[in-house]
Structure 1
Amino acid sequence: MAKTFTEDFIPLNIAVLTVSDSRTEDTDTSGQLLVEKLTDAGHFLSDKKIVVDNVYKIRAAVSQWIADDKTQAVLITGGTGFTRCDSTPEAVTPLLDKTVDGFGELFRQISYNQIGTSTIQSRAIAGLANQTIVFCMPGSTNACRTAWNDIIQTQLDSRHRPCNFVPQLKNTENCGSRG
């Protein structure tokens, strides 16, 4: 059965992952910003973790959420640059069923106005895995703000036209209270 657009807001269960070798819950400003943004928008935080920049630790955390019947979106901050330690795209890409190429392209286009040609070093990516949308963005708080405000927020809003990701996500046809 095809899913249709709704006039009602559908709150999603969203997990946040910070990839960092140095951040703690007290110093994780990017993860904290994403939690604030998603809850202010009316969504639910399903889980939040910080993992070191290690392909297998990143993959394990994301795989758990993709397999979870309740988590519908994953926001990942960090590990998308070009240093030898940055491995988020390598960890996440094999898990994706489909890539959302436009996310990285649009993110870099918007970021160009803010940071100039340094935006070419961003390896921001997104994709769908087991009906879960996964967004990978840089670790800077400003980059997370840009990604959320200019792209992600509307794409996770069931009322956004002409299209959004909500109809593609698991358990959105019967969304109710998610306590």
Structure 2
Amino acid sequence: MSETREFIPVRIAVLTVSDTRQAGDDRSGDTLAGRIGDAGHVLAARAIARDDRAEIAAQLRAWIDDPEIDVILSTGGTGLTGRDVTVEAHRDVYEKEIEAFGTIFTMLSMQKIGTSAVQSRATGGVAGGTYLFALPGSPGACKDAWDGILAAQLDYRHMPCNFVEIMPRLDEHLRRK
């Protein structure tokens, strides 16, 4: 952490993917919203989408197009069952995938749940100048992803590098003539 840099709040949207969750029992969404606020970031939007690839992708695209959203965190639908289509929806909208996000998440999960970590397909990517991360649907997995990866990478003060410092350049290819 660099003491010479000032904290820059990031605007983050949270999407819970579930056929059964509602606002009143969305523990994973609550976990992420709490950590976002505690870190000094802005909870820019929050929604729940059914386990439907087109519906998830449509919500992701709407938030990617919103200039008031810098990062999208989804929770749920990253497993192996037939209804788990969040990863596919994310990849439908990615311009670039952040492959190491899933790798690092698996490494963190191995420390907590052992080889069961192999069942998660957590992923990250970039589209339209917006970061997107698909996290598993458990509050514990959301805590692990935030505490172990995202808290540092979404903090401009984190050294030697972080996601925030390259945000202005994420869509530079669109500005070139």
Q: Given the two structures, how large is their TM-score scaled by the length of structure 1?
A: 0.90
2:37 is aligned, of 36, 39, 54, to: 39
For this pair of structures, how many residues does the alignment match? 167
Aligned to 1:64: 62
Shift of 1:70: 1.3
| In structure 2, distance between residues paired with 1:163 and 1:113 | 25
RMSD value, Cα: 1.4
2:138 is aligned, of 132, 137, 140, to: 140
Richer in helix (by share) = 2
Q: Structure 2: which 5+ runs fail to align?
A: 170-177
Aligned to 2:155: 157
| In structure 2, distance between residues paired with 1:67 and 1:153 | 24
Shift of 1:131: 1.1
| In structure 2, distance between residues paired with 1:100 and 1:142 | 22
Shift of 1:16: 0.2
| In structure 2, distance between residues paired with 1:170 and 1:145 | 27
Shift of 1:74: 0.4
Identity %: 45
Report if the CA contact (8 A) 1:72-1:170 is conserved. Answer: no
1:113 is aligned, of 108, 111, 114, to: 111
Aligned to 1:3: none
Q: Structure 1: which 5+ runs fail to align?
A: 1-5, 172-179
Q: Secondary structure of 1:146's partner? A: helix
Report if the CA contact (8 A) 1:132-1:170 is conserved. Answer: no
| In structure 2, distance between residues paired with 1:80 and 1:146 | 15
Aligned to 1:103: 101
Shift of 1:170: 4.9
Report if the CA contact (8 A) 1:69-1:170 is conserved. Answer: no
Aligned partner of 1:52: which letter?
R
| In structure 1, distance between residues paired with 2:114 and 2:139 | 17
Q: Secondary structure of 1:169's partner? A: helix
Quick one: structure 1 residues 170 and 19, their matched pair in 2 at CA, closer, same or farther if it must change by over 3 Å? farther
